[in-house]
Amino acid sequence: MSRPSTEAEYLARLVPASTAALSRRNLLRGAVGATSMLAIPSLLAACGGSSSTTSPGATANTSGATGTVTLGSNQSDAVPKAAVQSVMDAFGKANSGLSVKINTIDHNSFQENINNYLQGTPDDVFSWFSGYRMRFFASQGLAGDISDVWAAKTDMTDALKIASTGDDGKQYFMPSTYYPWGVFYRKSVFSSKGYTVPKTMDELVTLSKQMQKDGLSPIAFGDKDGWPAMGTFDQINMRVNGFDYHVSLMAGKEDWSGDKVKKVFDTWRGLLPYHQSDSLGRTWQEAAQSLQQKKSGMYVLGAFVAQQFTKGAEQDDLDFFTFPEIDSNIGADAIEAPIDGYMLSASPKNEAGAKKLLGYLGGADAQNLAVKADPSVIATSGAADTGAYTALQKKSAEFVKSAKNIAQFMDRDTRPDFASTVMIPAIQSFIKAPTEIDSLVAGIQKQKLSIFSS
């Protein structure tokens, strides 16, 4: 099979053959915007013919939904918490007879206890992430099928639909917001020093050398918490080996000790001298502060880096570009943009109400409130109001739209046990000893075999 040219096609590959064949045909028409509207009728027909249990043309039977829906939310800090509350209030107003009871659990505890939470007494609807993380719980029977809610959805791209689809071809996830990863910089620094955005690896190295001459750390870097450097690995891998290979590597299907992975680490090693040194003792916030204080020139991170910057002028000074091209045959149009959203628990107490809520959360009204509260994320609904976006949000929306392939993030695209217990220590030891690549990748491969075989 040739390299998939779109995110949609990649995502389609993750779906089992029975359903994938049909969806891919439709999805090739395009992933974004208005095209998706055209695709919906044929998708509906396709669903009817597949082995899935969704009946043809099914829409969620939520018209008579009343009562209380419980929502497990991991948005516990002040601003997002208030935003969730306002969304639920708006939902209650729009649907008389329905109300939402929010169960807020702090982000960290929620994530660490998700296994137990879902097997205990979960709420009807809960906040979660797309990617392997979503498909895993769907395949374990811990999430509810919301294909009927999706059937009525017209404002989401097919790419997002595929990103919400489990291994069995049914939808289990309702996207809410997402944010891209890229190379962030301060416009004022670039304009005052006369820097231009690098398009290729060579340009990046040249720019880095110039920055060093100007007394800047070229690339801010902090990996004390282990996960930020995964983003750098993902970016380089997508540039060196292509999106297709990246996906397959994350799925555990490739040899981690092979030449391709070695080349990623080799390339990274070439860039390490331009990274801020002593990164293993530095948090991402400290690294972001060096960008904020104009001590570093660039920073490879997600758009949440904006949260370190003061709202207003300072945030407006923040801009980003895609990670530069390394191989011209591969290009630079594969990006990462993790999607956050909501799922239905396996046996909700108020199923009709919960599905109504999920439909609402995937819609423009709810997402307008969410993106207003957090200006580092953008809405997934095509009907959302982009007029009120900040400069950075507009750029993010543009960026995601122009990307050909979209990955999630290492800890969302691969098994979490592999990501956290193998890859975090491995990448950290690479940063410590960048020359010992052979033994490092051999160790990763050995552990990968034992984890993926279990």
Partner 1 sequence: MATVTADTAHQTPKTPRKRSRYKGLNHLSGVDRIVVSLMVGVPTFLVVALVWFPAVGSVLLSFTNWNGIGSPSRAKWLGLTNYQNVVTNYPPFWPALQHNLIWLVVMFVIATPLGMLLAVLLDQELKGGRIYQTAFYLPVVLSLALIGFIWQLMYSKDQGLINAVTGSTIDWYGDQSYNLGAALVATSWRQVGYVMLLYLAGLKGVDPTLREAAKVDGASETTTFFRVIFPVMRPINVIVLVVTVIESLRAFDLVWVINKGRNGLELISTLVTQNIVGEASRIGFGSALATFMLLISSAFIVVYLRIIMREER
Partner 2 sequence: MTTATSAPVDAARERPTRVVAKAARPRRVGRVLLYTFLTVMALIWLFPVVFAVISSFRSYAYTAQNGYISFGGFTFSNYVNAWQQANFGHTLINSLIITVPAVVLTLFLSSCIAFVVARFTFKFNLALLGLFTAANLLPPQALLIPVFRMFKAITVPLWFSDSGTLLNSYWGLIAVNVAFQTGFCAFVLSNYMKALPRELYESAVIDGAGVLRQFFQLTLPLCRPPLAALATLEVTWIYNEFFWATVLLSQGDKYPITSSLNNLRGQFFTDNNLVAAGSVVVALPTLIVFFVLQKQFVSGLTLGATKG
Q: Which residues bind partner 2 (CB under 8 A)?
A: 74, 76-78, 80-81, 103-109, 112-113, 116-117, 119-122, 284-285, 289, 292-293, 302, 304, 307-308, 310
Between strands 334-336 and 405-407, the pairing is parallel
- Shortest Cβ distance from residue 431 to partner 1 (Å)? 9
Tell which one of 99, 425, 434, 452 touches partner 1 (CB under 8 A). Answer: 425
Instruction: Specify the residue for token string 């801009």.
Output: 319
Are the C-beta atoms of 370 and 87 separated by less than 8 Å? yes
89 binds partner 1 (CB under 8 A): no
282 binds, options partner 1, partner 2, none, Cβ within 5 to 8 A by partner type: partner 1
- Shortest Cβ distance from residue 73 to partner 2 (Å)? 8
454 binds partner 1 (CB under 8 A): yes
16 binds, options partner 1, partner 2, none, Cβ within 5 to 8 A by partner type: none
Q: Is 408 helix (H, G, I), strand (E, B) or coil?
A: coil
Residues 226-245 that bind partner 1 (CB under 8 A): 226
Please tell me the distance from the alpha carbon of residue 195 to that of residue 41, in angstroms, as a whole number. Answer: 48
Are the C-beta atoms of 173 and 164 separated by less than 8 Å? yes
Between strands 296-302 and 181-186, the pairing is antiparallel
Angle between helices 78-94 and 364-373 (to 10 degrees): 160
Closer residue to partner 2, CB minimum distance, 11 or 377 = 377
347 binds partner 1 (CB under 8 A): no
Q: Give the largest CA-CA distance in the chain.
A: 68
Closer residue to partner 2, CB minimum distance, 88 or 444 = 88
Contacts 24+ apart (CB under 8 A), 37-46: 37/154, 39/158, 40/154, 43/158, 43/161, 44/151, 46/19, 46/22
Closer residue to partner 2, CB minimum distance, 210 or 289 = 289
Bridge partners of residue 345, in order along the sequence: 143
- Shortest Cβ distance from residue 375 to partner 1 (Å)? 26
429 binds, options partner 2, partner 1, none, Cβ within 5 to 8 A by partner type: partner 1
Closer residue to partner 2, CB minimum distance, 6 or 308 = 308
Tell which one of 12, 14, 142, 261 touches partner 1 (CB under 8 A). Answer: 142
Stretch touching partner 1 by CB under 8 A, among 29-37, 323-331, 387-395, 427-435: 427-435
386 binds, options partner 1, partner 2, none, Cβ within 5 to 8 A by partner type: none
81 binds, options partner 1, partner 2, none, Cβ within 5 to 8 A by partner type: partner 2
Counting Cα atoms < 13 Å in the Cβ hemisphere of 318 gives 32
Tell which one of 18, 53, 66, 115 touches partner 1 (CB under 8 A). Answer: 115
141 binds partner 1 (CB under 8 A): yes
For 92, which DSSP code? H
- Pick from 343, 326, 356, 214: which is nearest to 274 by CA? 214
153 binds partner 1 (CB under 8 A): no
Q: In what order do the strands lie in the sheet with 296-302?
A: 217-220, 296-302, 181-186, 318-321
What are the residues whose beta carbons fall under 8 Å from the beta carbon of 44, sequence distance 6 or more?
Answer: 56, 57, 151
What is the binding site for partner 1 (CB under 8 A)? 111-115, 119, 133, 140-142, 224-226, 278-282, 286, 289-290, 416-417, 420-421, 424-425, 428-429, 432, 443, 446-447, 450-451, 454
